[in-house]
Structure 1
């Protein structure tokens, strides 16, 4: 889209203001480089449209395209100063996500990418999730080790660190900072079962969204 204005905001909006473009940049800023991985973060987008948007970003000098890969240029990396505050504004000023917008695959994918793997055990373990209502599979596992953090709906046959029964909205709420962990545990929207350390371990491992409305971005469990 062209606005035909001299204003730098209008010129920038011509590059990043089209549908899906900001989400592509979000994926690139979070470390995705393969086209397959970028596509996994924007599942509602067709492959053809993704290719078209990437070519436009390449023309604008925002990304470099190689075979089945894309990487932000220096100019593209500077967009972090635009995208990150936008995410924090959205988390702080807009209502929590609607139930129909929640997808377990995307939610667990985002959670896994934010996990501090230095806090994880050396030997792989799994958190077993049972979503009491969701689109698609209700049983999920988060595979965790110092080398990998990734969701799967296939049983990885690993030692289970804990099991979490919850609604998608409850998990999204504590991760985004809209809900306190203690409140979710008290009202039963999140139930954590496992060793005595399971609750605190789950909170540390899952962490908080970088746009968390808690301000610090650090998850807490009130005593």
Structure 2
């Protein structure tokens, strides 16, 4: 199988680097701040470790990534890919949404994104534990715990053993719609699609702790 398009066109040459399966998502994770192999894996959970290692080696070979001290860091060339990945995401948010089918309802990936976009400056003093019970995930996982103690934010897949301050329960699709900017958190609660339980002050403050997807504010086409 040919590994080159055989063209001097810069679009063709960039495509040889960036359009292999999974590569744009690996670059996305690097741009989002993941530097360790296991953290990168959590951002692309359906990608095999062997293939992730292969893609990282390719990105290192072409000068997009440096691998130093067990960490993967984007080079200047890699950092310059941000507007490329951002444009892909903006286009996808506007035009490739369609009907999200069940295989896209990955609660683990959703919670990984949510945990790394917590606004630590908005958190109350002390430790707050938020338990999420999300049904319908394609990966069959349904329980997640966010341990918030500014400036530290931890995502746990097993009970960390702390008292729970806020409980959030519903279908993963509801939380994805919130994360992607398609509905408000409290609107989902009022509609009965999401249940949030805990002290009133914490429940009211909950939406202020999370920033949403980078693409949540992308305006949709008028026909959407």
Do Structure 1 and Structure 2 share a fold, with TM-score over 0.5? yes
Counterpart residue number, 1:127: 130
SS in 2 for 1:33: coil
1:9-88 alignment to 2 at 5 Å?
A: 9-88=11-90
Q: Does 1:155 align with 2:156?
A: no
Q: What 5-or-longer segments of structure 2 have no aligned partner?
A: 220-224
Q: Which moved more, 1:28-37 or 1:144-153?
A: 144-153
CA change 1:92–1:198 in 2 (3 A) is: farther
Counterpart residue number, 2:222: none
Q: TM-score, normalised by structure 2?
A: 0.88
CA change 1:55–1:132 in 2 (3 A) is: closer
Q: Does 1:203 align with 2:207?
A: yes
- The counterpart of 2:182, out of the listed 178, 195, 208, is 178
Q: What 5-or-longer segments of structure 1 have no aligned partner?
A: 216-223
Deviations 1:17-44 (A, max 9, x none): 1001111111111111111211221121
**Paired residues of 2:146 and 2:155 also in contact (CA < 8 A):** yes
Q: TM-score, normalised by structure 1?
A: 0.89
- 1:124 and 1:182 map into 2 onto residues whose CA distance is 23
C-alpha RMSD of the superposition: 1.8
Q: How many residues align?
A: 215
**Paired residues of 1:109 and 1:150 also in contact (CA < 8 A):** no
